[in-house]
Amino acid sequence: MILLSIAGFTNIGYRIHSRHHDPVTTDMTGRTVVITGATGGLGRACAEAIAALGARTIVVGRDAEKLDAVEREIGGSVAAYQADLSLMSEIRDLVERLRVEDRIDVLVNNVGVLLPERTETAEGLEATLATDLAGQFLLTNLLIPRLVENGDSRIVNVTSGGMYSERIRPRDLQFQRREYSGTTAYAHAKRGQVILTEMWARRLEGTGVSVHAMHPGWANTPGVAGSLPLFDKLMGPLLRTPEQGADTMVWLAAAAEPAASSGELWFDREIVPKHFLERTRESERDRRALWEGLVALTGSDFAALPAGGS
C-alpha cells in the first residue's frame, strides 16, 4: 500500500495504516494544550482526546455559542477563548488573555479556511492568507516564549495534501498579481505552513520545543462539506471520521516519540516527503522572502534561540 495514495487518504487507508498503532494513553495532567479551530471537525475531535488525557485544554474559535457548547460538552479542565484568528489585532489580544494560564505546553494550529472568492479582512489582508498562514505565524511567534519556558513542548501544524501541488510565491502572498482560486490559495498557504514548520524547527533547535506538520487525510468535517460540497458528496462514504483525521494530531501533541525529531511532515504517524514534484521546491531565497513577507504583514519576528532557550 502506498501511504500517500488516493486510497491512503480515505478511511480505508486509515484502517490499514493504523493496524499497529497503540492507543495514545499519555498522562497529560499538568500540561496545557491550546487548540485553534476547536469548535468542530478535527479541532473538536482533538480537543476531546486531549482533554480525556487529563490536559488543561484551551479551545479557540470565533463563535461564542459553539465555544460554550464545546466547553460544556467536553467537560473536565476545558477553557474557551473567543478570537477571530484572521485578525492580527485579535490574535495579539488572545495572547494577552492567555497570560492568565500558568503554562502552555502545546500549540495545535488547526484553524483554516478555504474561500471561493478573494476577500480581505478588516485589516486589509487576503482572508485565506490571514487565517491559514499569517495568523498562525503571528500566534506561534508570540507563544514561543511560553512554550520554551517548559521544555518538551510541541507545536503541531495541520496542513493539507493540496500543498503538494504548489510552490510558495513569497512575492505574491495575497494573490494580487495572479488570478485568484480558492483551492490554490488554500494549498499555497498550506505549502507556506510546511516551510515555516522547518524554519521554526531550526530556530528552536536545542530548546526542547519540537515542531511538526501533519496531514489528516480526507475527513468528514463541516469545513470540507462547506468548502468542497461536490467532493464531500462524491467521497462521503470513504471520508475519515474527525477522530481518525485527528489521530496524528493527538499523537504528535502527546506521545513521546515525536519529541525525538522536529521539522517533519507526518501522515498516519509516519514521516512523509514534503515534495513529490520538482517544480514545488522552494529555494533558500524563497524561504527568507516568505519569512520576511510575513514579518512585514504581522509585525512579528522570531530569531533563533541559543540552546536551552536562554
Residues 84-108: pLDDT tens digits?
A: 999 999 999 999 999 999 999 999 9
Give the mean model confidence (pLDDT) for residues 300-308: 63
Greater pLDDT, 305 or 43: 43
Q: Does pLDDT of 267 surpass 60?
A: yes
Rounded-to-integer distance, Cα 173 and Cα 18, Å: 36
pLDDT-based confidence at residue 283 (cuts at 50, 70, 90): very high
In a domain, 70, yes or no: yes
pLDDT of residue 5: 72
pLDDT of residue 88: 98
Q: Report whether 252 contacts 266 (CB < 8 A).
A: yes
pLDDT of residue 6: 76
In a domain, 309, yes or no: no
pLDDT-based confidence at residue 227 (cuts at 50, 70, 90): low
Rounded-to-integer distance, Cα 175 and Cα 222, Å: 26
Q: Does pLDDT of 221 surpass 90?
A: no
Rounded-to-integer distance, Cα 18 and Cα 301, Å: 38
pLDDT-based confidence at residue 234 (cuts at 50, 70, 90): low
* 186 counts as catalytic: yes
Q: Pick the catalytic residue: 14, 81, 164, 186?
A: 186
pLDDT of residue 3: 58
pLDDT of residue 143: 97
pLDDT of residue 237: 80
HSE-up (13 A, CA, CB side) for residue 74: 31
Q: What is the separation of C-alpha 153 from the centre of its chain, rounded to a whole number of angstroms?
A: 15
Q: Which three cell numbers stand for residue 172?
A: 505574491
Rounded-to-integer distance, Cα 122 and Cα 99, Å: 26
Task: Please name every residue paired with 80 in a beta bridge, in sequence order, or none if there are none.
Answer: 59
In a domain, 39, yes or no: yes
In a domain, 308, yes or no: no
> pTM for this one?
0.93
CATH number, residue 110: 3.40.50.720
How many distinct structural domains can be found in the chain?
Answer: 1
pLDDT digits (tens, 9 = 90+) for 106-164: 999 999 999 999 999 999 999 999 999 999 999 999 999 999 998 899 999 999 999 99
* Angle separating helix axes 284-298 and 182-203, nearest 10 degrees: 100
In a domain, 306, yes or no: no
Q: Which three cell numbers stand for residue 306?
A: 541559543
Q: Does pLDDT of 284 surpass 80?
A: yes
Across the chain, mean pLDDT equals: 92
pLDDT of residue 63: 96
In a domain, 239, yes or no: yes
Task: Please name every residue paired with 56 in a beta bridge, in sequence order, or none if there are none.
Answer: 32
pLDDT above 90 coverage of the chain, percent: 85
Q: Report whether 134 contacts 112 (CB < 8 A).
A: no
In a domain, 153, yes or no: yes
At 134, which helix (H) or strand (E)? none
Q: Does pLDDT of 1 surpass 60?
A: no
Q: Does pLDDT of 222 surpass 90?
A: no
In a domain, 303, yes or no: no
**Which residues span the domain enclosing 247?**
7-298
pLDDT of residue 220: 76
